């Protein structure tokens, strides 16, 4: 045992019985709670590094995507003020902070209060003080409310859309069908209704169009019919997956298992977008971007599916046509083959950028 990575156990308080956690005996725990070494990267640094080396993302963490590409596009430098509109685990934010210091600052916002608090603690522990990093729980749809606090426009804004690996991995948040959990899917667990409540009353035609419009689901009708026929049975992550699996196996015998799993994944994505009203928030964010950027300021958005990317691409093209932006990316930037090998979550990432016009 390495004394540096295994601090001595805390002494028991008098009168409090010591309750030892039951340790997982295998080498690759399947349950989130058993991944205690991955969930404590400071204490178990070597185990953490081993998981990354295997090409996996350690449980409870997130690996930032297209970092070098984002830095090349935003060109952050000392003294600048920027916004990370989707702070997540803080991976992009750390890199941005490293470049705006000394003299600069980064605002980091996220809707998820649970992960935001953890990320702020980690970033503060790395030495980023209140002057350098300003953290707020704000939906990026409302970024103009930051302008008074900022005292002017921003030099750059980054949005890395969707969910973080921490949110996906934690069964209690209900984002994954790979383990049993409540069907929640809210990015901010204090707002809106969980997906299981939505599924109790959503009309069949509305559910079908949610599946089509939010995830391009080719089997939308079959899936929506199955869910509406078994609303009570679709209230947990694995139960919903089972309903979809059964519907697709019985109705279309030729459908391979991989295609069924894709449909389950797309259904979860569609429900997540609906529950969090993600497209409205993104549209509002894209409308507000130019208001919040300084002249010559840069924006970068990483999308993970066509519904997001279509909106980003159109907003930037419209901004260019209206002379709001002086330049935008002509072709979307994708993660390198090496990054996709290292981190399969990078495969679907599409990065686009825009630069606000400078008044002559
Ligand atoms: C892909 S993760 C970002 C990861 C981050 N770039 C990093 O390096 O760790 C997306 C994050 O955006 C947040 N998010 C999604 N929609 C949001 C919104 N409308 N406003 C603010 N945050 C949002 C999610 O809660 C999640 O933490």
Looking at residues 209-214, what average pLDDT do you find?
A: 97
For 212, the 3-state DSSP assignment is: helix
pLDDT on residue 25: 60
Evaluate whether 315 touches 287 at the Cβ level (below 8 Å).
yes
pLDDT at 71 exceeding the cut of 70: yes
Paired residues of 303 in beta bridges? 350
Q: What is the DSSP letter of 335?
A: -
Evaluate whether 279 touches 341 at the Cβ level (below 8 Å).
no
Domain 67-165+279-356: top CATH class: alpha beta
55: nearest Cα among 343, 347, 348: 343
What token pair was written down for 359? 């008044």
Ligand 1 centre to CA of 160 (Å) is 6
pLDDT on residue 5: 37
Ligand 1 centre to CA of 250 (Å) is 37
- Provide CATH 3.40.50.150 ranges for the chain: 67-165+279-356
112: nearest Cα among 43, 179, 170: 170
Who lines ligand 1 at CB under 6 A?
62, 64, 86, 88-92, 109-112, 115, 139-141, 160, 162-164, 187, 281
Average pLDDT along the chain = 89
Ligand 1 centre to CA of 164 (Å) is 6
Answer with the residue of higher pLDDT: 360 or 62. 62
Percent of the chain with pLDDT over 70: 82
The DSSP string of 21-42 is PPPP-SSS--SGGG-TTTT-TT
CATH classification code of 189-275 = 1.10.150
Evaluate whether 69 touches 95 at the Cβ level (below 8 Å).
no
pLDDT on residue 60: 75
Report in angstroms the alpha-carbon separations of 151 from 112, 148, 154, 219, 297.
Answer: 25, 5, 9, 50, 15
pLDDT at 55 exceeding the cut of 80: no
Looking at residues 185-191, what average pLDDT do you find?
A: 96
Q: What is the pTM of this model?
A: 0.86
Q: How far apart are CA 15 and CA 101, in angstroms?
A: 49
Residues 6 or more apart whose Cβ sits within 8 Å of residue 30: 179
How buried is residue 113: exposed, middle or buried, by Cβ count under 10 Å (0-12/13-18/19+)? Answer: middle
How confident is the model over 4-53, as pLDDT tens digits?
Answer: 333 433 444 445 566 666 665 656 666 666 665 666 666 666 666 666 56
For 170, the 3-state DSSP assignment is: coil
pLDDT on residue 177: 92
Report in angstroms the alpha-carbon separations of 94 from 15, 156, 198, 264.
Answer: 43, 15, 37, 34
Q: How far apart are CA 264 and CA 211, in angstroms?
A: 11
pLDDT on residue 99: 98
Ligand 1 atom with the shortest distance to the CA of 94:
8
pLDDT at 227 exceeding the cut of 90: yes
- Provide CATH 1.10.150 ranges for the chain: 189-275
Percent of the chain with pLDDT over 90: 77
Answer with the residue of higher pLDDT: 299 or 14. 299
What token pair was written down for 110? 């996220």
Nearest CA residue ID for atom 4, ligand 1: 88
Ligand 1 centre to CA of 6 (Å) is 32
Q: How far apart are CA 30 and CA 179, in angstroms?
A: 9
Ligand 1 centre to CA of 89 (Å) is 9
How confident is the model over 73-117, as pLDDT tens digits?
Answer: 999 999 999 999 999 999 999 999 999 999 999 999 999 999 999
Report in angstroms the alpha-carbon separations of 267 from 53, 129, 194, 303, 309.
Answer: 31, 41, 15, 18, 19
The DSSP string of 260-318 is HHHHHHHHHHHHHHHHTTHHHHHHHHHHHHHHHEEEEEEEEEEESSHHHHHHHHHHHHH
Residues 6 or more apart whose Cβ sits within 8 Å of residue 325: 290, 316, 319, 354, 355, 356, 357
Q: Which sign, positive or negative, has the C-alpha torsion 356, 157, 73, 97? A: positive
Looking at residues 55-80, what average pLDDT do you find?
A: 89
pLDDT at 59 exceeding the cut of 80: no
């Amino acid at each position: 045992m390495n004394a540096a990575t295994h601090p001595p156990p805390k002494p028991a308080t008098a009168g409090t019985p010591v309750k030892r956690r039951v340790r997982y005996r295998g080498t690759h725990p399947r349950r989130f709670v058993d991944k205690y070494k991955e969930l404590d990267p400071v204490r178990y640094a070597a185990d953490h590094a081993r998981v990354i080396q295997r090409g996996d993302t350690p449980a409870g963490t997130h690996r930032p995507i297209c970092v070098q590409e984002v830095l090349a596009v935003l060109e952050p430098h000392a003294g600048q003020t920027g916004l990370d509109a989707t702070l997540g685990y803080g991976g992009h934010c750390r890199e941005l902070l490293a470049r705006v210091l000394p003299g600069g600052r980064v605002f980091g916002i996220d809707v998820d209060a649970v992960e935001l608090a953890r990320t702020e603690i980690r970033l503060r522990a790395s030495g980023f003080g209140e002057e350098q990093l300003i953290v707020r729980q704000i939906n990026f749809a409302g970024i103009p409310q930051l302008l008074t606090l900022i005292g002017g426009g921003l030099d750059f804004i980054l949005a890395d859309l969707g969910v973080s690996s921490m949110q996906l991995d934690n069964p209690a948040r209900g984002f994954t069908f790979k383990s049993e959990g409540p069907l929640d899917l809210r990015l901010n667990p204090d707002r809106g209704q969980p997906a299981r409540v939505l599924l109790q009353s959503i009309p069949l035609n509305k559910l079908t169009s949610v599946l089509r419009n939010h995830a391009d689901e080719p089997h939308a009708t079959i899936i929506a019919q199955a869910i509406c026929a078994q609303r009570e049975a679709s209230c947990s992550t694995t139960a919903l997956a089972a309903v979809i699996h059964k519907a697709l196996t019985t109705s279309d015998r030729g459908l391979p298992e991989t295609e069924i799993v894709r449909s389950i994944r797309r259904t979860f994505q569609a429900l997540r977008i609906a529950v969090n009203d993600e497209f409205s928030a993104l549209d509002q964010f894209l409308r507000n971007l130019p208001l919040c950027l300084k002249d010559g300021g840069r924006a970068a958005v990483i999308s993970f599916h066509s519904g997001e990317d279509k909106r980003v691409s159109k907003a930037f093209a419209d901004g260019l046509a209206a002379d709001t932006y002086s330049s935008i990316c002509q072709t979307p930037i994708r993660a390198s083959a090496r990054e996709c090998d290292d981190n399969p979550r990078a495969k679907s990432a599409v990065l686009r950028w825009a630069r606000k016009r400078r008044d002559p």
